[in-house]
Amino acid sequence: MTMCKQLALAFWLAPVFALDGVVGIHDPSTVVMCNGKFYTYGTGGSSLVSDDGWSWKRGTALPRRGLAPDVIHLGDRYYLYIAANIGAQPKAAVNMLWNKTLDPASPDYKWEEGGVVASSDGIEDCNAIDPGVFRDPSDGRMWLVYGSYFGYIRLVELDPKTGKRLNPNDKPRDLAINCEASDMIYHDGWYYLLATHGSCCRGADSGYNIRVGRSRKVTGPFLDNAGVDMIQGGGRLFLGSGGRVVGPAFRTARSWGGSAEILHSL
């Protein structure tokens, strides 16, 4: 079972009660725009759609009922990555779907299967869930981070022209351990790996918190402010419980207002 992710909009730094309509969704993806509307997708194939980013309603379900999806828009396609456990954890796979539009009313709306881009065999030290897709603004290369507490957070390179694994025979890189729901952002020459530590799903007693490390290379090593590598369990506290927010988890901070300034203080 995958853990909770949080929506990637600036309103997650504002009071949650400012949102309107249907706002509950498990493991929401990065929020993306299509034809003037906002879309996000969640575990079980669920989705939400909004005209303004604040008032939300239930959207059209995905053809795959997997775990913790993430989505990105490149060229004339939307690529969606969604995980599924094959039997018991940590045997899992991340599948890619693509579509020319996210609008179900469009004649071009049709999800196509793109195949497996990452997997774990149930024996190795990794659980191939919680995909987080990242397009490097410095060189246009495309990457996917994934993994959970069953082992390492890993990184593979994707082909930005097809959304598929660029070199399927290349060994994934290990970036971090003892965390999950990871994602990557880039700012001012630094790559930041954010991931969730602690325990989830215990209501007010949830111990989830967000940790971060940074690197000059997308492949790491990702060090915290004390110089400890995330592969050794490092990670500076980025956000913990406080006020109305209990057990915050992380998927992406690309749209968080002020996130760049916070990260720059590392």
Which residue from 256, 255, 213, 217 is spatially nearest to 238, judged by alpha carbons?
213
CA distance 117 to 79: 12
- Determine the pLDDT at residue 261: 36
Higher pLDDT, 183 or 19: 183
**For the whole model, what pTM was predicted?**
0.87
CA angle 12, 15, 21 (to 5 degrees): 85
C-beta of residue 29 within 8 angstroms of C-beta of residue 44? no
Q: Which residues contact 169 (CB under 8 A, 6 or more apart)?
A: none
Q: Is 205 helix (H, G, I), strand (E, B) or coil?
A: helix
C-beta of residue 203 within 8 angstroms of C-beta of residue 211? no
**Strand residue runs (E) in the chain:** 20-21, 32-34, 37-41, 47-50, 55-58, 67-74, 77-85, 91-99, 112-121, 132-135, 142-146, 152-158, 173-177, 180-187, 190-197, 209-215, 236-239
Percent of the chain with pLDDT over 90: 67
- Determine the pLDDT at residue 5: 40
Q: In the predicted model, what is the mean pLDDT of residues 7-13?
A: 38
Least confident range from 11-20, 85-94, 193-202, 252-261: namely 252-261
CA distance 86 to 119: 10
152-158 and 37-41: which strand pairing?
unpaired
Higher pLDDT, 6 or 111: 111
C-beta of residue 128 within 8 angstroms of C-beta of residue 94? yes
- Determine the pLDDT at residue 258: 32
How many other β-carbons are positioned within 10 Å of the β-carbon of residue 237?
A: 12
> What are 218-258's pLDDT values in tens digits?
999 999 999 999 999 998 987 666 556 655 565 533 333 33
Residue 175: both structure tokens together: 């970036």
Q: Is the pLDDT of residue 71 over 50?
A: yes
pLDDT confidence tier of residue 48, bands split at 50, 70 and 90: very high
> What are 145-182's pLDDT values in tens digits?
999 988 999 999 999 999 999 999 999 999 999 999 99
> What are 83-140's pLDDT values in tens digits?
999 988 899 999 999 999 999 999 999 999 999 999 999 999 999 999 999 999 999 9
Q: What are phi and psi of 232, to 5 degrees?
A: -105, 15
pLDDT confidence tier of residue 20, bands split at 50, 70 and 90: confident
Residue 68: both structure tokens together: 């913790």
Q: Which residues contact 193 (CB under 8 A, 6 or more apart)?
A: 145, 153, 175, 176, 182, 183, 184, 212, 213, 214, 215, 220, 222, 230
- Determine the pLDDT at residue 205: 63
